[in-house]
Structure formats: structure tokens, C-alpha cells
């Protein structure tokens, strides 16, 4: 499994391509657009790019509960 954490999305795309030899920027963008790679924020701070299905669903439940406790809305 390959995952990257980032604060700057263009840099994350570059990093993902570099860590996947032979992968182009267009291929990375196509994978994100197709939903094969997912942008997530499972913890406070940096964002993450991971393969779709590699995330744990309970992390998202925790985020929703935390938002409710601190009165955050989308």
C-alpha cells in the first residue's frame, strides 16, 4: 500500500508519482478523479492520499462526533 501525507496538494501529487516509478502526473490525477485514490483527513493536521478502500470507516465516525462536540458544521 502506498500513501502520502501532505499540506500542499500539488506536492502530494508529485510525491505520489515519484514513489510510484513510471507514473505520470496525468495518471495520478486520473486516479484521484476516478476515486481510485482518495484524499482524506483522518487525523488533525496533514491531509492524506491513500488507495480507495484502505481507510478505516470508524475514523470518519470519530471525526463527525468530534465536530458535533465542538459545534463545527460543514
Expressed in percent and rounded to 5, the helix, strand and coil fractions of the chain are: 45, 15, 40
Cα angle: 57, vertex 65, 46; to 5 degrees: 65
Q: Give the E-state strand segments of 1-74 in sequence order.
A: 4-6, 37-40, 47-51
Q: Which three cell numbers stand for residue 63?
A: 471525526
Question: Which residues face 6 on adjacent strands?
Answer: 47
Q: What is the pLDDT of residues 28-58, one digit of tens each?
A: 899 889 988 888 776 667 777 877 877 665 5
pLDDT, average across residues 8-26? 86
pLDDT, average across residues 15-28? 87
Amino acid at each position: 500500500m502506498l500513501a502520502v501525507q501532505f499540506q500542499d496538494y500539488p506536492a502530494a501529487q508529485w510525491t505520489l508519482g515519484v514513489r510510484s516509478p513510471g507514473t505520470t502526473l496525468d495518471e495520478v490525477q486520473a486516479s484521484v478523479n476516478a476515486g481510485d485514490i482518495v484524499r482524506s483527513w483522518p487525523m488533525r493536521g496533514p491531509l492524506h492520499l491513500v488507495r480507495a478502500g484502505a481507510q478505516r470507516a470508524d475514523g470518519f465516525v470519530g471525526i463527525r462526533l468530534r465536530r458535533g462536540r465542538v459545534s463545527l458544521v460543514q
